Amino acid sequence: TQAHIEALEKARVLNAYLLETPERALAMADVSDAKIAAGEGRPLEGLPLGIKDLFCTHGVHTTAGSKILEGFEPHYESAVTHNLWRDGAVMLGKLNLDEFAMGSSNETSAYGNVISPWRRNGSDAPIVPGGSSGGSAAAVAAHLCLGATATDTGGSIRQPAAFTGTVGIKPTYGRCSRWGTVAFASSLDQAGPIARTVRDCAVLLGSMSGPDSRDTTCVDLPVPDFEAAVSRGVKGLTIGIPKEYRVDGMPAEIQRLWDQGAEWLRAAGAEIREISLPHTQYALPAYYIVAPAEASSNLARYDGVRYGLRVPGKDIVGMYENTRAAGFGREVKRRIMIGTYVLSAGYYDAYYVRAQKIRTLIKRDFEAAYEAGVDAILTPATPSAAFGVGEKASADPVEMYLNDVFTVTVNMAGLPGIAVPAGIDAQGLPLGLQLIGRPFDEETLFATAQAVE
């Protein structure tokens, strides 16, 4: 813990931490020392972690990367972080993120962008860590924590993991409790870990997940021994390669990486089979209807009365307007407007209901593949390597949304997905592969990811 506290003081230029909590960390580490001395060590005893600032932490400033939560100190602890502290982990601080987890480059944070520790060969130009869990990914990659919590609504664990050469898993929807995690799109949001190895992710997810009656979508299933699953091997497994993920304009090096990954799995004893997920092309547009719709509803609670920022106005409505105008950033306002539009009376059937129907079709595509004997599906994690800071932020927002083309299907279907580092591109930046599993079969994902890692 001491070494990590010193490391993060020296790496502030990355802007990965929004808040460092060294005193709390040292106090927690002291407890861990005592537990170990007494022979009572818990599963994560003394492991220093960073916490995405979307998880409410009791008495510790929680911002969701937004000005509207400035000054908010929750009087409760999120279920996920509670589970980590129960198992002996130590909190180093709160990690930067895109505002309300909306973004793919950590450039929408109200507290400044995060910089990846990676650079292109022979260049000093700053590179994005991905988003929205950009602080989590950068901190893990730069050794500013042993592991971090993250959340994934449309790729925000897997895309930043792929951009930074780290491992990130989004478990099945319902595996982790969402209680106490600031909501973006409730039917898609899931917590998960980012860490440097598949095994570390397995250990962390084992602690983060588990039943919780306070979140009615959290399943009442026992948590499997994820760590044991890591070394299971892939012999006899069938891995599907979905042909629809071979999108136009995909760089040749991404295709090579994908072929290489399939080859590694074949060499380790898996059978590789081409499959079809015919509704893939509709996932991204449907996601960008469903996610903003739910966000517009979830974000209605930030009214200047209950949380954080309040900007006075001439009457109560004026106060709401002034608070929301000053508190939300551009991307969040864009999502609220899109979401409100697609939910409004005249457009609900044309957009929202249609997107929900597409969601069902996407889910059925995966079900058909699994029913036909596929155990896991291999795809690239992202359509490109990380890009430079500012390179996409000012362009058409759709350009940024295209980053999520391989990851959103997994959230739409509620499935588990893991991103694992699999190579370096010609410019020296990391590239990741994604494995998608059956519902509540994270174990097979850990085993297959280990064979690729």
Q: Which residues are catalytic?
A: 52, 132, 156
What H or E segment, with its residue span, contains residue 432? strand 430-437
Cβ 399 to ligand GLN shortest distance, Å: 12
Nearer to ligand GLN, 184 or 370 (CB): 184
Find out whether 383 and 405 touch, Cβ atoms under 8 Å: yes
- How many Å apart are CA 104 and CA 226, to the nearest integer? 28
Query: What's the closest the beta carbon of residue 343 comes to ligand GLN, in angstroms?
Result: 17
Nearest residue (CB) to ligand GLN, 165 versus 292: 292
| 189: its two tokens | 């949001």
Of the pair 60, 400, the CB lying nearest ligand GLN is at: 400
The span from the CA of 5 to the CA of 242, in Å, is 44
| Nearest-approach distance from CB 133 to ligand GLN, in angstroms | 8
Residue nearest to ligand GLN (CB): 156
Select 109 or 132, whichever has its Cβ closest to ligand GLN.
132
CA pair distance 107, 279, nearest whole angstrom: 30
Instruction: Provide the minimum distance between the beta carbon of 101 and ligand GLN in the complex, in angstroms, as a whole number.
Output: 4
Nearest CB to ligand GLN, comparing residues 264 and 406? 406
Closest to ligand GLN by CB, 65 vs 88, is 65
d(CA 201, CA 218): 20
Neighbours of 255 (CB within 10 A): 12
Distance between CA atoms of residues 44 and 201, nearest Å: 12
- What is the CB-side half-sphere exposure of residue 43 using CA atoms within 13 A? 16
Nearest-approach distance from CB 404 to ligand GLN, in angstroms: 5
Cβ distance to ligand GLN smaller for residue 152 or 227: 152
DSSP string, 336-357: HHHHHHHHSTTTIIIIIIHHHH
Residue 64 CB, nearest distance to ligand GLN (Å)? Answer: 11
Tell me the closest approach of the beta carbon of residue 378 to ligand GLN, in angstroms. Answer: 21
Whose CA is closest to 130, among 166, 148, 156? 156
CB 167 within 8 A of CB 453: yes
C-alpha to C-alpha distance for 367 and 124, rounded to whole angstroms: 46
CB 306 within 8 A of CB 318: no
Contact residues for ligand GLN, defined by CB under 6 A: 101-104, 132, 152-156, 184, 291, 404
> Min. distance of Cβ 215 from ligand GLN in angstroms?
18
Nearer to ligand GLN, 127 or 157 (CB): 157
**Buried b / exposed e across 77-98, counting CB within 10 Å, b at 16+?**
bbbbbbbbbebbbbbbbbbbbb
> Minimum Å distance from CB 303 to ligand GLN?
23
The two structure tokens encoding residue 107: 């450039």
**51/144 Cα distance (integer angstroms):** 12
**Nearest alpha-carbon partner for 185 in 414, 448, 416:** 414
At 388, is the secondary structure helix, strand, or coil?
Answer: strand
**CA-wise closest residue to 65 among 100, 92, 114:** 100
d(CA 446, CA 453) in angstroms, rounded, equals 10
Positions of E strands within 43-171? 48-52, 90-95, 147-152, 167-170
Count other C-beta atoms under 10 Å from residue 39's C-beta.
6
Considering beta carbons, is residue 11 or 101 the nearer one to ligand GLN?
Answer: 101
CB of 414 within 8 A of CB of 207?
Answer: no
